[in-house]
Amino acid sequence: MDLSSINPVLLVASLMVAATPILLAAIGELVVEKAGVLNLGVEGMMITGAICGFAIAVETGSPWLGFAGAAIGGAALSLLFVLLTQVALANQVASGLALTLFGLGLSALLGQGYVGIKPPPTPRLDIPFLSDLPGLGPVLFGHDLILYLGIALVAAVWAMLKYSRAGLILRAVGESHDAAHALGYKVVRIRIMAILFGGACAGLGGAYISLVRVPQWTEGMTAGVGWIALALVVFASWKPWRVLLGAYLFGGITVLQLNLQAAGVAIPVEYLAMSPYLITILVLVILSKDKSNAPASLGKIFHASH
Amino acid sequence: MKLTALLTNAAMVLGLATGVAAQDKTKVGFIYVGPVGDGGYTYQHDQGRLAVEEHFGDKVETVYQESVPEGADAERAITQMALNGADLIFTTSFGFMDPTVSTAKKFPNVKFEHATGFKRADNLATYSARFYEGRTVMGTIAGMMTKTNKIGYIGAYPIPEVVRGINAAYIAAKKVNPDVEFNIIWAYTWFDPAKEADAAKALLEQGADVLMQHTDSTAPSAAAEKAGNVITFGQASDMAEYKPTPRVSSIIDDWSPYYIERVQQVIDGTWKSTDTWGGIDSGMVAIGEITGLPEEVKKAAEAIRDQIASGELNSFTGPLNRQDGTPWLAEGETADDETLLGMNFYVEGIKAEMPN
């Protein structure tokens, strides 16, 4: 065992990268669920975003256009979910699952010509002096912009939900769509916007995997991250900062356990491998003792005639 | 009335047509653990499937299901394939072993072939490649090329096939570089590019400058390329898109000849349950082009490859001790297949602990 070979600064820096895809997808899903819609298609939207972002970044040579394309791609796929659940009033659970299956297949099809191609590198923030600070530099100032965007989104969603009128309306729609409707709010329109936002965020998260974290395109490369993001929203009791905490905890322990393995720590590997799931769930369950409830209309179908 | 009669006739003709077609064609099914586009292990099996289609043309129909999880759900997928009329089913991952065994019991008239396992029945054959022979070549390169003397190894699951590879690579690396050390990470997945990339990064951050992998995606090579000054090896497939570096050589599984041979036997009615374990000599394991290395390293690796092919060199030749120091092979003795197939111990010198 040689713990000294683990560099804490590099560890923190890489845990932030590992956590970002989950964070982006989860914060988008949180807004969707706050509006009373349960979209289980996160995985499908992520993988679609991953290939859309990758393809556009490769074709244009610009990672930023790639990320923009990923957000549009994710949102476009969620439009299908909108059609099914908001227009055709189909069951949300079934539609979400279908969206995931469809997204996985569609991305494999779109990605046919992109296997083994290298994407243009996503530039990192490089602030003279600040990025070179020992310790803090690589952790705080040495990442790419999308990582900061993820954190900024958490803050923005939190502030929006807590302080703004728009946030109040969104929550009202999620808690009781009938009451919100009676007050004259456009329930369906608000939900559609929330779903599109969720799709765009999931798309960004997927592209973060294919453009920054791995970076390459491989079929099925999100490998279940979307499901983890979904679970995270529940365990974080629909609170933005807890989503951030949960994502960093999960990403952090994932990276830490790999580092511990590499350093040959005498903990059985099986325990290390399950630790990210276990510890994240434990911490968030303990935190949610205050019984923050799910949005009351979550998953229910709304029709103005009811 | 006329319309009904017409429809009935049409249906009968169609039914007849498909019936005839079904009798003519041999249906061959493949169960894959990852997506066919993984660029590695499953991709290579699918190349074998395509070779079967190409070789037999209209006589054979192939079907496949990708990304089948190992475990209980695999049985559903295999059963489904057997119910759909497959005559021969290849299940291509170690974790499909027990599901394949129990499905084979239920369908005595369907032939099954399970890759990398050890359980057989009258209608269940096993086949595998001696990937570890390739590891000996890669280990030689790794030992000669490392400057930090730390070699990172990403394993999927602690099963004999993977452990064998680690041991073979270590023995070869140690032979050319006595100071070499192996850092091993178990990913507990065959395919998860993000996790494989994270594992690669963790190993690189801890000073490894050579990465070996026994997982299926090209993600570790991508991570190595990003880090720079690191070499990697193609696993299962050539992974040529990372030539000349970081990928400096590769272990390629070539299943095509085997698949074609076995399908032919089913067509001829001569298929028997067998146990095939092909190595470099039979062509089932091929060493990918060696690129971006100094001439002497390339020469040494090619010499090892040729010695293994000619039978002059065995990857596991004594004197070798087990990790705990107990003797395993005496001077000049070589390992028997049974020990290799059930290998659940590290050889002496590897510091990591084996997960149970």
Per-residue model confidence (pLDDT) at position A281: 82
**Contact A270/B at CB under 8 A:** yes
Cβ of residue A113 closer than 8 Å to a chain B Cβ? no
* Residue ranges per structural domain of chain A: 3-126+141-290
Cis before B319 (ω within 30): yes
Q: For residue A23, what pLDDT is reported?
A: 96
In this prediction, residue A292 carries a pLDDT of 66
Return the residue of A nearest to B200 by Cα: A258
Q: How far apart are CA B164 and CA B232, in angstroms?
A: 19
Q: What is the mean pLDDT of residues A217-244?
A: 90
Q: Average pLDDT over chain A, rounded to whole? A: 89
Q: Do B37 and A111 touch (CB under 8 A)?
A: yes
Mean pLDDT computed over every residue of chain B: 89
Average pLDDT over residues B262-288: 93
State whether B241 and A223 contact (CB < 8 Å): no
Give B116-123's long-range contacts (Cβ < 8 A, gap of 24+): B116/B161, B118/B341, B118/B342, B120/B273, B120/B275, B121/B273, B122/B273, B123/B273
pLDDT category of residue A75 using cuts at 50, 70 and 90: very high
On the question of pLDDT at B305 being above 60, the answer is yes
Q: Which element (helix H / strand E) includes B186?
A: strand B181-186
In the predicted structure, residue B95 carries a pLDDT above the cut 50: yes
The structure tokens listed for A259 are 């580092």
Per-residue pLDDT averaged across A126-137, rounded?
A: 72
Q: What is the DSSP letter of B178?
A: T
The better pLDDT of the pair B211, A277 is held by B211
pLDDT of B2 over the 80 cut: no
Helix (H) or strand (E) holding B210: strand B210-214
Q: Give the model confidence (pLDDT) of A165-176 as tens digits.
A: 999 999 999 999
Pick the more confident residue, A289 or A46.
Answer: A46
DSSP state of A144: B
- At residue B32, does pLDDT exceed 90? yes
B41-58: average pLDDT = 94
Q: What is the enclosing helix (H) or strand (E) of B185? A: strand B181-186
Closest-CA distance, B235 to chain A, in angstroms, reads 14
| Residue position matching structure tokens 């952090």 | A252
A218 touches chain B (CB under 8 A): yes
Region B21-37 average pLDDT: 83
B133 has pLDDT over 80: yes
> If you search the block for the tokens 């070589």, which residue do you land on?
B334
Single pTM value for the model: 0.81
In this prediction the ipTM stands at 0.79
pLDDT, one tens digit per residue, over B191-237 is 888 899 999 999 998 899 999 999 988 889 988 988 888 999 998 88
What value does the mean pLDDT take over residues B103-121?
93
Q: How far is the C-alpha of A65 from the C-alpha of A72, rounded, in Å? A: 10
Lowest mean pLDDT among A71-80, A266-275, B5-14, B273-282: B5-14
Residue, of B269 and A270, whose pLDDT is higher: B269
Residue A53: CB partners within 8 Å, gap ≥ 6?
Answer: A66, A67, A69, A70, A73, A203, A204, A206, A207, A210, A211
Which range, A26-30, A131-135, B246-250, is most confident?
A26-30
Contacts of B203 in chain A (CB under 8 A): 262
State mean pLDDT over A84-98: 94
CATH architecture of A3-126+141-290: Orthogonal Bundle (1.10)
Residues above pLDDT 90, as percent of chain B: 70
Residue A182, min C-alpha distance to chain B (Å): 47
> Which residues on A lie below 8 Å from B202 (Cβ)?
14, 255, 258-259, 261-262
What would the two tokens of residue B174 be? 């140690």
Residues 119-178 of A with CB under 8 A from B: 121
- The predicted structure's pLDDT at residue B17: 44
Q: What is the mean pLDDT of residues B311-321?
A: 92
pLDDT more than 70, % of chain B: 93
**CATH class of the region B2-130+255-278:** alpha beta
Superfamily of domain B131-252+286-341: Response regulator (3.40.50.2300)
Structural domain spans, chain B: 2-130+255-278, 131-252+286-341
Q: What is the pLDDT of residues A183-205, one digit of tens each?
A: 999 999 999 999 999 999 999 99
> Are B333 and B339 in contact, with CB atoms under 8 Å apart?
no
Residue B280 identity: I
A220 compared with B255, residue with greater pLDDT: B255
Q: Are A15 and A255 in contact (CB under 8 A)?
A: yes
Q: Does B241 touch chain A (CB under 8 A)?
A: yes
